Structure 1
Amino acid sequence: MEENKMTQQTPERKQTIFSGIQPTGIMTLGNYLGAIKNWVELQNTYNCAYCIVNMHAITVKQDPKALKQHTLEAYALMLACGVDPEKSVAFIQSHVTTHAELNWVLACSTQFGELSRMTQFKDKSKRYPDNINAGLFTYPVLMVADILLYQSNLVPVGIDQKQHLELTRDVAIRFNNTYGNTFTIPEPYIPKQGAKIMSLADPTKKMSKSDDNVNGFISILDKPETIVKKFKRAVTDSDMEVAYREGKDGINNLMTILSTVTGDSFETIERDFAGKGYGDFKTAVGEAVAEHLRPVRENFDRLMADKSYLESCYKRGAEQAEKISRRTMEKVYKKIGFLPR
């Protein structure tokens, strides 16, 4: 991507999308179907900036060696899933200093009360009572900076992440009202299907790699036989009818997953499995997911065996992100009254 790709003036200028993912181990099927798969599709229509948000990761204590490895793996996985560094700006957050710079400026335009109402801070404080640090409290401001740096028009978010985008909009509007038009006000981009993949063991909860039950989540690098086995153990109901309707959380979740990986409608799925048992259905979903993830596993192995190529990609991505975001920072510094250097 050329330096000015995100800001070029054309009669039909593409809108800009920003999104990031944490390097906290191998992503789940939920992460993939709810986020990364959509990133790949969006890069053909929008100017996209995608990053590994390793600065966010350190709000929770990390082993430095593991964090370094997980960051590289997360970047490789992003590319393995189909994010093309020739089409999108694909980078690692800590490589672009403007994220930390804008974080401080915007922290001074964010109210304590706003941050104290963030539900994820409350959740993580309960999970990590021995490490309730200032970064854990203020990290939503860094998320705001991530988005606003690239003058993002749209942000792909899950239903449970809308609160962070609402904060982003509030801070951007407040800053614009105080200092003049500076930031684009982003809108949420929420896909109609696959936005929230639920646990296979408890379909009332979101799929998460922190689930105590390993059968509740699928790692996108799981072996095919492991994937099929986990789907065979998926919780369903006693109706024995493959149909999408209220009260059938387990089947609804499996139908959403199958629809997302195959492109089949719920009506098609219901017709294909009419009169068949849940055993056949769960096996079919597992096999479809295993096959869908096969190229991801193969691409990941290939990329991890070529560290020099990965390094060239994330260095180029950082250079592109720095050039684009630096223009925003220069504008911000001028607006708030900082002397140019």
Structure 2
Amino acid sequence: MPTDAPSTDSAAGSNAPVEPDFDTVVVSGIQPSGRLHFGNYFGAIRQHIDLHSRHEAYYFIVNYHAMTTVQDADALREHTLDVALDYLALGFDPEEAALFCQSDVPEVTELMWMLLNLIPTSRLEKAVAYKEKVNAGLTPNAGLFTYPVLQAADILAYQGTLVPVGADQKQNLEIARDCARWFNHTYTPEEPLFPVPEPHILDDVAVVPGIDGQKMSKSYGNTIGIFDEGKTLKKKVMNIVTDSTPLDEPKDPEACNVFALIKLFADAETQAEIADNYRAGGYGYGHAKKALLQLITENFADARARRKELAARPDYVHDVLKAGADRARATVEPVMAKARELAGLVSAR
């Protein structure tokens, strides 16, 4: 990498070329490392579906990323199709935006290699996910180490300009921004090929508590699945950790994991009513859990029915993913042809 290449967002410098306007293109991915849960829904999926009909958008199931932790082929296939089913059931319209598998656009990994040769290893050593593994005494694999660069390639290949992320993921987007600048600075300073993507920070995203009160995460095994139902759903809700305040005594709703979940599903009037019941006494956590169970069941009832219909039509789901991949590759191929030309990669094709 040239020593004078910009290394941080603030280092673009006053002498950097003026970046041309690019059309708004929304890009985001979701990892198929297990069944999707409330944390995924309120943290990302709900916003993805809101944005996908308002801008040109590419949403990909990041099965390459999942390989950093999932080495079971059958599980990866199952989780990938589950994600597709979940998105479609929750309202994703494949006529509005592309939904596809990351691995169906191999040009992205080619771009990743180009970017790897521009980014210093010291930049990746500072990545939060990598540092957390090292600090925990674990030995992260090279896939996790280079994860942010593949994420950058995912964004830049589609000339993405707007990336929905939680505040805790902003660092990876900063690496993508750096990668865009490094490539443009190195190969095409007069007419940048890649826009510098902007974060669409999801400030209103609540921290969704899991059954044990920690942040809901597959890593902690404390999740409630979006499409859990029946006895499975009831068992998980009834196992949510609460304190030992007796039934008759007043309780603080804001200190309760059950009420934190109720707030995600209930309208303002219902929230206020349940909160008053907490404070009045005579309202036990069992009552709150039953109210939550009903809210969850009602909230996802239509989506649950759609998912069952879609699960009976696997050919349709595969067709959606294929059409999305075709649309994605049609966008990526001319971008990568230009990237190869700028980098000096000779092609006989």
Tell me the TM-score normalized by structure 2. 0.81
Output the CA distance in 1 between the equivalents of 2:164 and 2:284.
33
* Structure 1 segment 156-167 matched on structure 2, within 5 A: 156-167=164-175
Answer with 309-318 or 120-129: which moved more. 120-129
2:318 to 311, 315, 318: 311
* Contact residue 243 and residue 270 of structure 1 kept, 8 A: no
Q: Deviations over 1:181-212 (max 9, x none)?
A: 1211112223333353222312xx32012324
Output the CA distance in 1 between the equivalents of 2:206 and 2:174.
18
Answer with 136-145 or 230-239: which moved more. 230-239
- Bigger radius of gyration: 2
Q: Match of 1:117?
A: 126
Output the CA distance in 2 between the equivalents of 1:22 and 1:86.
22
Output the CA distance in 1 between the equivalents of 2:205 and 2:253.
17
* 1:270 partnered with 2:272: yes
Q: Match of 1:3?
A: none
Output the CA distance in 2 between the equivalents of 1:284 and 1:328.
52
Q: Match of 2:24?
A: 15
The Cα shift of 1:117 comes to 1.1
SS, match of residue 24 in structure 1 = coil
* Contact residue 22 and residue 54 of structure 1 kept, 8 A: yes
1:220 to 218, 221, 226: 226
Label 1:61 to 1:115 Cα distance change in 2 as closer, same or farther (>3 A): same
* Contact residue 242 and residue 274 of structure 1 kept, 8 A: no
Label 1:190 to 1:236 Cα distance change in 2 as closer, same or farther (>3 A): farther
Q: Match of 2:9?
A: none
Output the CA distance in 2 between the equivalents of 1:110 and 1:198.
36
Label 1:60 to 1:177 Cα distance change in 2 as closer, same or farther (>3 A): same
Answer with 111-120 or 331-340: which moved more. 331-340
Give the fraction of aligned pairs with identical amino acids, expressed as a percent: 37
AA of the residue aligned to 2:341: K
* Contact residue 166 and residue 205 of structure 2 kept, 8 A: no
* Contact residue 115 and residue 138 of structure 1 kept, 8 A: yes
* 1:320 partnered with 2:331: no
Q: Match of 2:18?
A: none
Label 1:201 to 1:316 Cα distance change in 2 as closer, same or farther (>3 A): same
* Contact residue 17 and residue 153 of structure 1 kept, 8 A: yes
* Contact residue 273 and residue 281 of structure 1 kept, 8 A: no
The Cα shift of 1:236 comes to 4.4
Label 1:287 to 1:242 Cα distance change in 2 as closer, same or farther (>3 A): farther
Cα RMSD (Å) of the superposition? 2.6
* Contact residue 166 and residue 203 of structure 2 kept, 8 A: no
The Cα shift of 1:296 comes to 2.8
Answer with 24-33 or 174-183: which moved more. 174-183
* Structure 1 segment 1-341 matched on structure 2, within 5 A: 15-124=24-133, 129=138, 132-178=140-186, 179-180=188-189, 181-202=192-213, 205-212=214-221, 216-236=222-242, 240-241=250-251, 244=254, 248=255, 250-251=256-257, 254-255=259-260, 257-262=261-266, 264-265=267-268, 269-276=271-278, 277=283, 279=285, 280-339=287-346, 341=349
The Cα shift of 1:95 comes to 0.7
* Contact residue 158 and residue 196 of structure 1 kept, 8 A: no
SS, match of residue 71 in structure 1 = helix
Label 1:329 to 1:17 Cα distance change in 2 as closer, same or farther (>3 A): same
* Contact residue 27 and residue 162 of structure 2 kept, 8 A: yes
The Cα shift of 1:173 comes to 2.0
Output the CA distance in 2 between the equivalents of 1:268 and 1:243.
13
Output the CA distance in 2 between the equivalents of 1:293 and 1:125.
39
SS, match of residue 284 in structure 1 = helix
The Cα shift of 1:260 comes to 3.6
Output the CA distance in 1 between the equivalents of 2:142 and 2:165.
24
The Cα shift of 1:229 comes to 4.1
Q: Deviations over 1:57-94 (max 9, x none)?
A: 11235111222222222222221222111111100011
Ranges in structure 2 where 5+ consecutive residues have no aligned partner: 1-21
Label 1:38 to 1:104 Cα distance change in 2 as closer, same or farther (>3 A): same
The Cα shift of 1:155 comes to 1.1
Answer with 298-307 or 274-283: which moved more. 274-283
AA of the residue aligned to 1:296: A
The Cα shift of 1:315 comes to 0.8
* Contact residue 167 and residue 202 of structure 2 kept, 8 A: no
